[in-house]
Amino acid sequence: MNEPLERTTILVLSVDEAHLLEHSLPAAAAQPGAEVVVIDNASSDPTRSVAEACGARVLGLRERVSYAAAINAGIIASEGDALLLLNADCVLDAGFLSAARPRLAQRDVGSVAPRLMRSTGMQPADRLDRLDAAGMVIDRRRKNTLVGHDEPATGYLQASEVFGGDGACVLYRREALDACAVGGEVFDEDLELWASDVDLAWRARLLGWRCMYEPRAVAWHMRFYSPTTRDGLPEAHRRLQFRNRLLMMAKNDSWTDVRGDLHRIATYELLALGHVVLRERHLLRAYWAAARALPAARRRRAVVQAKRARAVRPPFGLRAAR
């Protein structure tokens, strides 16, 4: 069994998101036995004053950095045995931590994925009777997906093991995060933003840590990006997404894991290349960007593979039970 946890830190990142913090921070501060830390990523709005009014400690960054770098700074500056990574646009239910935290006491559980519900805004009246995510999955093509996104709220009511938790709201055991750190970085700062949560979940799996989905831990998320809104993203973000999936595979996959899925991966990659050539030619630059970042990714991979729990094979396709 894991050792009992005594202290929980809720880390909330703000990038000029004071208007969201006004709604999400009171719910976070009301969680019993938790310290709230707001990472102020060089905001020009009232982030600091809103955070302090809610009793949160503020970690102010002098210069704006990537999501991964900002969260890493927050992890270093926090002291909790458990860390809840929370987006500013996510509002916790009253009993969130009381439901989620006990799961970290289970054998080899390093993270807990909550039941995220969809919301069109930050007010209770904006909440929908639809799921946002019941964790996330990486299928055997190495494509990551939110489980249950936009499905009716009647499903996914059973606690179960999942591949990992979506970065909008996921509870981690500090011991697991420390084990996953490479060169002092828990989140890979080369990835900047997109897929950094998936990469961390995959890395944790390689090191023997499991993730549990806890449906009683509920939060309401106003997601600005989903697969259905991808076309609205700037091209630079779509290229970063495309590049990061390739780097994630280069970092975390091994021949032992790949050989049974090689035909699936190859077919998907050929289809993806066809899509790029026919529909999104700007993504061709992502291949070159991935090639340039590959040496650093391989160095990170060597560190993780040296620590890998050899008997562990990532459970591709593992998703929350309906």
Which tens digits make up the pLDDT trace of 15-26?
A: 999 999 999 999
Whether the CB-CB separation of 188 and 300 falls below 8 Å is answered with: yes
Angle between helices 196-206 and 284-307 (to 10 degrees): 30
Instruction: Give pLDDT, residue 262.
Output: 95
The strand ranges marked E within 62-152 are: 82-87, 90-92, 109-119, 127-133, 136-138, 144-146
Q: What is the CATH number of domain 8-228?
A: 3.90.550.10
Confidence of residue 199 (pLDDT cuts 50, 70, 90): very high
Q: How far is CA 60 from CA 39, 68, 169, in A?
A: 6, 15, 21
Tokens of 95: 């009993």
Whether the CB-CB separation of 129 and 158 falls below 8 Å is answered with: no
Whether the CB-CB separation of 100 and 211 falls below 8 Å is answered with: no
Cβ contacts of 313 within 8 Å, gap of 6 or more? 256, 257
Tokens of 261: 């899925």
Q: Kindly tell me if the per-residue pLDDT of 212 is higher than 90.
A: yes
Give the rounded percent of residues in the chain with a pLDDT score beyond 70: 97
Whether the CB-CB separation of 251 and 180 falls below 8 Å is answered with: no
Residue ranges, comma separated, of all CATH 3.90.550.10 domains in the chain are: 8-228
User: What's the length of the chain?
Assistant: 322
The Cα 91–Cα 219 span in angstroms is 5
89: nearest Cα among 149, 17, 35, 40: 17
**pLDDT of 232-269, one tens digit each?**
778 999 999 999 999 999 999 998 899 999 999 999 99
Q: How far is CA 1 from CA 74, 99, 173, 206, in A?
A: 27, 18, 13, 19
Q: Kindly tell me if the per-residue pLDDT of 225 is higher than 80.
A: no
